[in-house]
Amino acid sequence: MSKTASTCALIIIIAVALFSTACDKKVVVTTGVPAITGTVSVDSGSGGVVAQAYVSVDGTRLIPVVAVNNETLDISDYGSSGEYMWSSTWHKDRLHAVPGDSCMLHVYQSDGEAKTDAQVIPHIPRVTSPDTGFVLAKSQSLSVTWVATAGVDRYQIEFRLHYYYGNYDDFSLDTTIVVPAGSSTYTLPGSVIFPSYVDSVTYGYCDIYTTAETGPNIGRESDGNVTGKGCGYFFTTSADEMQCSIGSHYMAPHSERPASQRPSARQFVERKKALLANQ
**Domain positions in the chain:** 127-214+240-262
CA terminus-to-terminus distance, the chain: 69
Q: Is the pLDDT of residue 217 over 50?
A: yes
Q: Place 260 in a pLDDT band, splitting at 50, 70 and 90.
A: low
Q: Is the pLDDT of residue 252 over 80?
A: no
In 3-state terms, what secondary structure has residue 63? coil
Angle, CA 103 vertex, CA 97 and CA 109 arms, to 5° = 120
Better pLDDT: 235 or 257: 235
pTM of the model: 0.80
Q: What is the pLDDT of residue 222?
A: 65
> Partners of 226 in the beta sheet?
116
Average pLDDT over the chain reads 84
Q: What is the pLDDT of residue 166?
A: 85
Q: Is the pLDDT of residue 31 over 80?
A: no
CATH architecture of 127-214+240-262: Sandwich (2.60)
Q: What is the pLDDT of residue 218?
A: 86
Q: What is the C-alpha separation between 88 and 94, in angstroms, rounded?
A: 20
Q: Place 16 in a pLDDT band, splitting at 50, 70 and 90.
A: very low
Q: What is the pLDDT of residue 47?
A: 59
In this structure, is the dihedral angle defined by the CA atoms of residues 30, 33, 34 and 35, taken in order, positive or negative?
negative
Angle, CA 188 vertex, CA 137 and CA 161 arms, to 5° = 65
Q: What is the C-alpha separation between 253 and 256, in angstroms, rounded?
A: 5
Q: What is the pLDDT of residue 19?
A: 33
Q: Place 7 in a pLDDT band, splitting at 50, 70 and 90.
A: very low
Q: What is the C-alpha separation between 123 and 49, in angstroms, rounded?
A: 11
Q: Place 34 in a pLDDT band, splitting at 50, 70 and 90.
A: very high
Residue 75: count of CB within 10 angstroms of its CB: 14
Q: What is the mean pLDDT of residues 63-80?
A: 95
Nearest 10 degrees: Cα torsion 258, 260, 266, 270? 60
CA distances from 118 to 72, 136, 219 (A): 17, 41, 20
**Single-letter code of the amino acid located at 255:** S
Least confident of 80-84, 86-90, 213-217, 235-239: 80-84
